[in-house]
Chain A
Amino acid sequence: MVDDNMTLTKTNTAKVKAVEPDFDDEDTTPPIKPGKEREPLRARIEDFSFFYADGFQAIKNVDMPILDRKVTAIIGPSGCGKSTLLRSLNRMHDLYPGNRYEGRVILEPEGENLIGPESDPVIVRLRVGMVFQKPNPFPKTIYENVAAGLRVRGIKKRSMIDEAVENALRRAAIWDEVKDKLNGSAYDLSGGQQQRLCIARGLAPNPEILLLDEPTSALDPIATAKVEDLVQELSESVTIVIVTHNMQQAARVSHRTAFMYMGEMMEFGETQTIFTNPKHPRTENYITGRYG
């Protein structure tokens, strides 16, 4: 097996070098487009490209289905554009001037194009929640952190907010740890608790999709395990897209996995297939630890 891979790498390197001398990569197999999904979709990314303000194209013609109430993982080496793709889904790039989208991100079942000129980024973010790499609780009480998303939506009734806050904290599996100190500062929690609090904050307004951007990269192994359990539980009720550079994590928590490389989506498929029987040579190189 190892020997096979070595020869594959060598021959491919030679081939590429002959064609494109300063591109010292070993493979030119074109990306494999995702096949047709039988399961219900929550969103479809179609022919999607993203350009940063300086003209750099970070995402190249990506097609990807996002399954309803399933976990979709995006993996790939650093700088491959996986976070950029995730942040496109709730228009975070609109916060910085000059960034440009092309293609479509269709939210099902309405068929609304999230990145179309007619859709308002603020409204998109009301529908697509996000949890960040580093826990970023607001400098407020635990209660107010979770309630923030509800207040933005103009909910004022105390009883409704109380109920939604408790519900979100329970879904984020942190209720028992914080129920006695809801009025304490969110900064008094540990890192792992803060991250689950941020997940609760994202869940409270009932988003249609929850985006997780390397949610465990700043956490210790125990806190990571808790967040992973949580992600699996949540996938029964909410659609989740998770970016991770931890392949074991993707294998553990996701139903579908997308592998990205240099802004292109090389392969997309069932998580088990991607990890046991990848079709694209780059995917295989990545999951066998050849680079990344």
Chain B
Amino acid sequence: MPDNLIMFIAVPFGLIMAIYLSEYARPAVRETVKPALEMLEAVPTVVYGFFALLVMTPFLQNFIPGLKGINLLVPGIILGIMILPYVVSVSEDAMRAVPNSLREGGYALGMAKWQVATRIVIPGAFSGITAAFILGMSRAVGETMVLAVAAGQNPNLTWDPREGAATITAYIVQMSLGDVAYGTTAYESIFAVGLLLFVITLAFNVIGFYLRRKFREAY
């Protein structure tokens, strides 16, 4: 469930910010914003978690009826924001790798700036942008802290974003803290879910790196 939310936040905002940085921003702006953005990647995720729990959730409770203190909606949004710097930075690199000769070709046909951005730069950088989102996504999926803090510890199979639920990683932490007996089904299950998590992130990474390699060979 939060995965959909993550993409819902990360895709539009990530694309808009990347287009702005690569096509519209003056070099001076880009050179300040991009390192600042990359610095945001270094913020510890527990900070995002408490921001979700103590700031975003109470704020959104004013607007969304039935939103519990521990829920999936807010961490979904926060994770979307959390992967933005990475997504923007990698897609901006992909867009800047689109050769200027293609842009000039577009302008020479009478395209306006936004048309060059949407019709030439995005298709030209498409596989790179996809790779950025998939790699960002796999980061968010493997993320523990934000969800552990803001979505709770209760393994709960639900599609309702207002409820709380534990993620795979949170579940592993909880199970391995020592209160389950060695050899029980609950104990064995942490290896099963761990493997599942490993497979999911591996799949995301493989797809991401495959696309990234493909886009490097495009021109």
Contacting residues, chain B, for A273 (C-beta < 8 A): none
- On chain B, which size bracket covers the interface? 20 to 34
A222 within 8 A of B: no
Interface band, chain A: 20 to 34
Residue A198 is within 8 A (CB to CB) of chain B in the complex: yes
A92/B119 in contact, CB under 8 A: no
Residue of A nearest to B125 (CB): A139
CB of A215 closer than 8 Å to a CB of B: no
Q: How far is A149 from B108 in the complex, measured between Cα atoms in Å?
A: 9
C-alpha gap A263/B157 in the complex (Å): 74
Using A138-B123, A139-B124, A152-B115 as known contacts, say yes or no to A132 and B104 having CB atoms under 8 A apart: yes
**Closest chain A residue to B126, Cβ basis:** A139
For A125, A129, A151, A198, the residue with the greatest tally of chain B CB atoms inside 10 Å of its CB is A125
Q: Within B160-208, which residues are at the interface with A (CB < 8 Å)?
A: none
Alpha-carbon gap, A199 to B107, bound state (A): 15
Segment 68-121 of A: residues with Cβ below 8 Å from B: 90, 92, 95
Instruction: Select one of A129, A140, A151, A187 contacting B108, CB under 8 A.
Output: A129
Question: Is A202's CB within 8 Å of the partner chain B?
Answer: yes
Q: Please, how many angstroms separate the alpha-carbon atoms of A198 and B110 in the complex?
A: 14
Q: How far is the CA of A130 from the CA of B109 in the complex (A)?
A: 8
CB-CB < 8 A to B101: which residues of A? 132, 134, 136
Residues of A within 8 A of B (CB): 90, 92, 95, 122-123, 125-126, 129-130, 132, 134, 136-140, 148-149, 151-153, 187, 198, 201-202, 205
B contact residues vs A (CB 8 Å cutoff): 99, 101-102, 104-112, 115, 119-120, 123-124, 126, 218-219
Given contacts A92-B104, A122-B110, 6 further A-B contacts (CB under 8 A): A90-B108, A129-B108, A138-B123, A139-B124, A139-B218, A139-B219
**13 CB-based A-B contacts, threshold 8 Å:** A95-B107, A123-B110, A125-B107, A129-B109, A136-B101, A139-B124, A148-B106, A148-B109, A148-B111, A149-B110, A152-B115, A201-B105, A205-B110
